Amino acid sequence: MIDLSSKTALVTGGTRGIGRGIVEALAQAGAKVVFSGRTEATAQAAVEELAARGITAYGIGADVASFAESAALVEKALAHLGKIDILVNNAGITKDQLFLKMSEEDWGQVINTNLTGIFNVTKAVIKPMLKAKYGRIINIGSVVGSTGNPGQVNYASTKAAVIGFTKSLAKEVAARNITCNAIAPGFIATDMTEELSEAQKQTLLEQIPLKRLGTAADIAGGVLFLASPLADYVNGTVLHINGGMY
């Protein structure tokens, strides 16, 4: 059993799906958790749903694509937690379209949320972490950042970039006992994959040796490991959790 009872965590995009699973797992391991959603309304709705399941976490509305809102998010999280030991950059979106039809807007929104969002939130967290000489930064990438995927030139570009971001920051901040790692989920059953047609899901299943989509809990298990002392010497790596598809 992983014990994170002396730790605090900020999880972006914790209202639903994978982020929500991560919030639950960290809280159940004893960590004090703050999470964000795109708006105050989605964040507060998730706080209530979590509370109904016996899980206490503090929710804040903030668009990670905004530098100012990300800074305010971290300021509020620090006020609530006192320190941020663990940062999970999970918030992300898709705007899938074949490249020929992909608009500048679909490109920009995905880059600004999935990649610049990680820059914005990490930028606000890094100084307090450096000062504390402790930090565990975990970025949620995707298997498609390594494999590519038709219809996801924008999304896969951000997820490939997450790997470069993770490996570079890992080298910059390690001397202060801050590690930075990424998790690359395969196909996980959430609202994001709910948008796929039955035929698309069937094609996906054929590529997954374990013959099922992953769950948020499958990804949260990786986060718990990387946030725990078991992974104190793991730095700059990408943990693929995908049922064996890559």
Q: How far is the CB of 24 from ligand NAP (least distance, A)?
A: 13
Q: How far is the CB of 82 from ligand NAP (least distance, A)?
A: 23
Exposed/middle/buried for residue 127 (C-beta within 10 Å: 0-12, 13-18, 19+): exposed
167 annotated binding-site participant: no
Positions in 175-234 near ligand NAP (CB under 6 A): 185, 187-188, 190-193
Q: Of 134, 155, 233, 246, which residue is the catalytic one?
A: 155
Positions in 53-72 near ligand NAP (CB under 6 A): 63-65
83 annotated binding-site participant: no
Nearer to ligand NAP, 133 or 200 (CB): 200
Positions in 117-146 near ligand NAP (CB under 6 A): 140, 142
89 annotated binding-site participant: no
Mark the segment that binds ligand NAP (CB under 6 A) among 17-25, 50-58, 76-84, 122-130. Answer: 17-25
- Look up 155 and say whether it is catalytic: yes
Mark the segment that binds ligand NAP (CB under 6 A) among 12-20, 123-131, 172-180, 227-235. Answer: 12-20
Q: How far is the CB of 207 from ligand NAP (least distance, A)?
A: 13
Contacting residues toward ligand NAP, per CB under 6 A: 12-19, 36-39, 42, 63-65, 90-93, 113, 140, 142, 185, 187-188, 190-193
